[in-house]
Amino acid sequence: MAGSEEEPRYSRQLYVLGGGARRLPGSAVLVSGLRGTGAQVATALVLAGTGRVVLHDCGAACSADRAHQFLLGESDLGQNRAKASQQALAELNPRVVVEAHTGELSEAFLASFQVVVLTESPLEEQLRVGDFCHAQGICFIVADTKGLAGQLFCDFGERFVVDDPAEGDPVSAAVEHISQGSPGVVTYMGTENSHGHLFRDGDLVTFSGVQGMTELNKQEPIPVHVLDAFRLEISDTSSFSPYRCGGLISQVQQPQECSHADAERVLELARSLGAQQGPLDEDIVRAFASVSAGDLCPVAAVVGALAAQEVLKAITGKFLPLDQWLYFDALECLALAGTAQLTETDCAPRGSRYDGQIAVFGANFQEKLGHQKYLVVGAGAIGCELLKNFAMMGLAAGPDGELIITDMDTVALSNLHRQLLYRSADISEPKSVVAAAAVQRMNPDVRVTAHQNQVGPATEIIYKDNFFRHLDGVASALDTIEARTYLERRCLRCRTPLLDSGTEGTQGNVLAMVPSLTKLLGPASTPRDGTFPLCTLRHFPRTIQHTLQWAREEFEGLFQLPAEQVNKLMEDPAFLEQQPPGKVLEQLWDSLRERPQDWRDCVRWARRRWQSCYHDAIAQLLHIYPPEHETSPGVPFWAGDRSCPHPLTFNPDNDTHLDYVLAAAHLFAQVHRVPPCRDRGAIKAVLRDVVLPPFAPQEGLQIPLTEEPTEEAQVPKDHRQLTELTQDLVHWRQELVGDEDTRAPLMEPIHFEKDNDVHIDFITAASNLRAENYGISPANWLTSKRIAGRIVPAIITTTAAVAGLACLEVYKLVWGCQDLSCYRNSNISLSACLLLRVQPPPAPTYRYGGREWSCWDRLEMRAVGADGQAMTVQEVLDWLQRTYGWTVTMLLCGDIVLYDSKADAETRARQQAQRLSESLEDARMPQQQDLELLYMCEGEDAEAEDTRPPLLCSLP
């Protein structure tokens, strides 16, 4: 069942913050200073669901604030910043109390908060407030930005307890063997997705489901010593019973205590460090001083997001806090060619909203920003943050600028905790349209256009090569590897800069792909498709991931596929004739035979299904392979990666048993368009009258033991049975269809939806019952939803930081920087307080056809003949011979062979005379004006296929 009524809104965040997130609604945080950094901190906290957020600022909003303070509108100028920001923040999340305070920060006022955050604060105030907070046990954070630099300071007191220091689920593994000895040695199996060590020295672990050495199942957490990737030493097991089979070893997370020094002690340490460091680096001081008057939205986004994450750590006790100090800068931006020539006049205030940016990069650069043409692909969490930053920066705010947003999705409730451009009233509206309107409210000068298209092969008629070549850059905010890879390929082909950003939980990265300079991006990670071998899912599950995937397939097999098949039968009289004899006909017969008349029939069906899955199927498996079965003399069958299951006995008073029947009956009723009933008492009454026949094992059934995805062997039906089955189906169809006016309603196929509570109710109960069959630890509702729904954990702080880091690279691209050393690829882990920014790898080179090529190089030709029409294949061959001296032996367009030197003379002549436009028609690509042709040349070596510059032809 859902954990709380807040779960639909915060589900992606709950996967990051865990149980500590329950403390957020009861917490109170002060954010002092409501310029760019403070606005970012406050926004993240309100979106995250912090109970009470109080804004403090004594200053009035000015025009220059609007280059980084995205909460302010034109009408707010001259108003108090805190009061002006209050309404915009309150609209973000009605569940959060947002207040404004414009008085002094007295001790009586500060005492009501759990966390105090100071931004834009003088040192004297930081010391005074910090001392008070330290003495009172109030977590204290300072966040400041100056131009291209920023800093963060945390003081969580002398004994701050972190309840859950690590990100992600505790690791677990199936046990293969445990020795009797002192120490005992555990041999375990790696999981499908594991690489290298699962455990570390000192980890605490527990055991469950161990057969034989059952003493381990009852022990408190014990420490381990890692021997290698699959073996651990544990405590003395010499007096325990011999290990027989099965079991799971699971890591246990233990709370940690951390201690922070008070402000005076930090000051002493800083002075001592200064004495040890030696001479001052004057270049850094000079660089910092030259930009300290500036205010940049990307820097405020990064530092503000990091500060907000520290606030969430302080409230939830999730993740280790920052060890007091963090310094951040992007001073590499000052190494851009031409920045050294900037004068005071270039950077002087103009009275515009961009003065803070002009102070760093100059007025001419601001004008360049306005001319940019950018495509943002994806208007989700990262996309919203990018668009907010672009609006503040003035990207595409000039007369010929252009900012295009495309996203096929609509706004959902679960988006609202991290996608700041959307409100509750926007739910079900197109994301790109709502985001574009929000951008224009933030900066009316930005020329923004909304598209609702996927950027992929199906839309190449819209997003042609000329479209990409027209752009100054592409910002990717996509959430699938396939989509990101496609976009990379298009940007490579058109030599368009690409910034690729991604997050998962508190982890995030930004990769810059700059034409001629950098290596291509490559896949960010291995796709997690959730597939497992069929025999593992059906008969030998070892982990909760296996049982959840089994439950997903069970859902589809019960509530989607049968309904789709029946609908096809009803719509098409010839459907039966098109089906081979066997499984589909049997499934159709079962579906029509089991049609319910009312919800009571649905309950009875669910009870029979429970018996079939959790008792009969297991009893059948044990009939074929009894617990004592041996694969060979002395070698038990149920060992290693096979855990011996046990059948369950139905109990209507068992919550999980009843949850299954309730959810299954509800879904079965929905499929058959029967009004469902959710009354647990009424369902129990029906269950009391259900009598099922005793289990009788089926003889002759074979079960595959390999990981090959083969179907289970079925006892074949004879011809007479198949004939009767088909006749029944024909009869039922005639009965159901009848007269056109009295046709019975068709069944309703149900497609699994991760945000539908009933769907997750079924998946959770179905999975946990199967886990009980096999002695696997169950998963709660929320964890089951994440794994079965393949939900990527997400939180506003990570997306805001990643978008800020990406926009720092935009500055370099707008400047036209051709110095690789100025660019940065970034990786962050907010849970581990890690921020890594490194120079991207250079573009690799290779040799082909007697010369060196870069991965960005290509052969480009305007494939227009002397007559103004598309070139013939022979003209293309002549061009390659004339330009590069290459004799082509084969030329292809996709799978179409345009020329093959080994073909007979007549075929070659026909190929050579054909125009490229005619080839497009053959390849069913008549609309395309840009072709990428594959060629092979005389004298190529075997490795040339992967190191050949592409040939791009532009047709008339």
**Which of the residues are catalytic?**
535
Give the DSSP H/E element, type plus range, for residue 729. helix 719-737
As given in the structure block, the two tokens for residue 448 are 């923004």
Q: What's phi and psi for 478, nearest 5 deg?
A: -95, 160
As given in the structure block, the two tokens for residue 938 are 């005389």
Quote the CA–CA distance of 359 and 339 in Å, as a whole number. 12
Q: What's phi and psi for 932, nearest 5 deg?
A: -110, 115
Angle between helices 544-559 and 757-773 (to 10 degrees): 130
> Taking Cα atoms as reference points, which of 10, 14, 16, 171 lies closest to residue 505?
16
> Taking Cα atoms as reference points, which of 223, 247, 253, 251 lies closest to residue 235?
223
DSSP code per residue over 506-548: TEEEEEEE-TTTB-----SS--------HHHHHT---SHHHHH
As given in the structure block, the two tokens for residue 178 are 């445990």
Q: Tokens 């103009």 belong to which residue?
A: 350
Quote the CA–CA distance of 292 and 304 in Å, as a whole number. 17
Strands 149-155, 888-893: pairing is: unpaired
Q: Tokens 């004006």 belong to which residue?
A: 929
As given in the structure block, the two tokens for residue 801 are 């930081």
Q: How many CB atoms lie within 10 A of CB 230?
A: 16
Quote the CA–CA distance of 745 and 765 in Å, as a whole number. 30
> Taking Cα atoms as reference points, which of 302, 287, 305 lies closest to residue 360?
287
Q: Establish how many alpha carbons lie within 13 A of residue 277's alpha carbon, considering only the half-sphere containing its beta carbon.
A: 9
Strands 139-146, 115-119: pairing is: parallel
Quote the CA–CA distance of 352 and 347 in Å, as a whole number. 12
Quote the CA–CA distance of 30 and 104 in Å, as a whole number. 13
Quote the CA–CA distance of 911 and 898 in Å, as a whole number. 6
Within 137-199, strands assigned E span 139-146, 149-155, 160-162, 172-178, 185-188
Query: In a 3-state reduction of DSSP, which class is residue 395?
Result: coil
DSSP state of 308: H
Q: How many CB atoms lie within 10 A of CB 852?
A: 9
Quote the CA–CA distance of 813 and 811 in Å, as a whole number. 6
Quote the CA–CA distance of 678 and 683 in Å, as a whole number. 8
Q: Are 560 and 749 within 8 A, CB to CB?
A: yes
DSSP code per residue over 194-253: --S-S--TT-EEEEES-BS-GGGGGPPPEE-EEEETTEEE-S--TTSPPP-B--EEEEE-
> Taking Cα atoms as reference points, which of 387, 379, 332, 321 lies closest to residue 804?
387
> Taking Cα atoms as reference points, which of 563, 746, 552, 564 lies closest to residue 668?
563
Quote the CA–CA distance of 930 and 953 in Å, as a whole number. 6
> Taking Cα atoms as reference points, which of 566, 681, 547, 703 lies closest to residue 624?
703
Quote the CA–CA distance of 392 and 387 in Å, as a whole number. 9
Distances in whole angstroms, Cα of residue 592 to Cα of each of 71, 369, 566, 587, 730? 59, 65, 8, 9, 11
> Taking Cα atoms as reference points, which of 245, 225, 249, 246 lies closest to residue 235?
225
